[in-house]
Amino acid sequence: MTSEHGTRRPGRLLTALLCALTAAGLYGCSDPGRPEPTPSPAPATTAPAPTTPAPTTPAPTTAAPTGRSPFTGLPARPAPVLAVKIDNVAPARPHTGLGAADLIYVEQVEAGQTRLLAVFSSRLPDRTGPVRSARESDIELLSQFDAPALAYSGSQTALKPLLKAAPLHALPPEEAPRAFVRGASRPAPHNLYLLPGRALAAAPGTGLAQDIGFRFGTAPEGGTPVRERTVRYPAARYTFTWSAPDKAWRVAMDGRPAVTTDAGPLKPATVVVQYVDIRPSRFHDFLGSVSPYTETVGSGTALVLRDGRAHEARWSRPTATAGTAFTTPDGQRLAFAPGQVWVVLAPKG
């Protein structure tokens, strides 16, 4: 598979987005209801790590050097970026493939529930899921990446023109039918899975991993020792518990340990609780519930969990195409621990 960087054309993109927004209106959910034909599983695809000696740990104020992932700080070769919208209600658990993600975002959706947005680049699992529908907030959140692919189960009708005009490769089942399969162990809609290798094959020109503002290296001084931290949404909660033997945070969702069917417990090295404005959008789902919009452009406060300590931080993202910088209270870039990163987009207050 050949990948190359996408080319941004801000003026043309803005025009297309404005036209799409003008055409948008209220709509109903359109997740596919019938099972897709099940092709033979695609082989696991892994972006191999370099065989040359790994460079030294990057300084907190510099981006990840060549040979390391800008999303994890670990050794990795440049590879396309695939984002996947993941179902997260109780019937959708346990998940599959999330242990291979470089980065996982937690987003609020209708009725106070949450969805996950898993970002893959360094490694691709055989399959991942269950996959669910995209939201308007995903467009802004993913604009800091370089033309990534976005796989999802479907979208609300009025969102389709926005996704088509966005700086990403939209991959619902109708665009990549061979990349989706239905599982037999769960009822729809919680049984749709993605074959990532086939998804990227359907999106030539997907952009490679690039700097989105993360820094990796030695932990900042100070911080507060913490054994666990819970983040609450109106109808969901996440608890992150420090595991010294793993040098990582064990994840629990709604009070139950989060495990995967293929790689065991979820164990991010760094958890970022990013406090954001979550406002009602003008869209709603098929039940009439208003879709929330998570604001990820702007600035605010954050809490960075790493190495068993909590560090107060600030975040800043001046434009949709800019990365998100996390800094200490005195303005220094705050380094994450190398490894999987979770960014929990939590409501202010």
Structural domain spans, the chain: 61-347
The per-residue pLDDT for 19 is 39
- Tell me which residues of the chain have a pLDDT lower than 70: 1-62, 283-288
Rg (CA), the chain: 19
pLDDT digits (tens, 9 = 90+) for 60-79: 456 777 799 999 999 999 99
Tell me the C-alpha distance between 99 and 11, whole Å.
38
Q: Which two tokens stand for residue 326?
A: 């996390």
Specify whether the CB–CB gap between 72 and 81 falls below 8 A. no
pLDDT on residue 38: 39
Query: For the CA atoms of 128, 133, 138, 143, what is the dihedral angle to 10 degrees?
Result: 70
Segment (H or E) for 292: strand 290-294
Q: How high is the pLDDT of residue 24?
A: 40
Say how far apart CA 200 and CA 255 lie, in whole Å.
35
Nearest to 289 by CA among 234, 340, 215: 234
Superfamily of chain region 61-347: YerB-like (3.50.90.10)
User: CB of 65 within 8 A of CB of 98?
Assistant: no
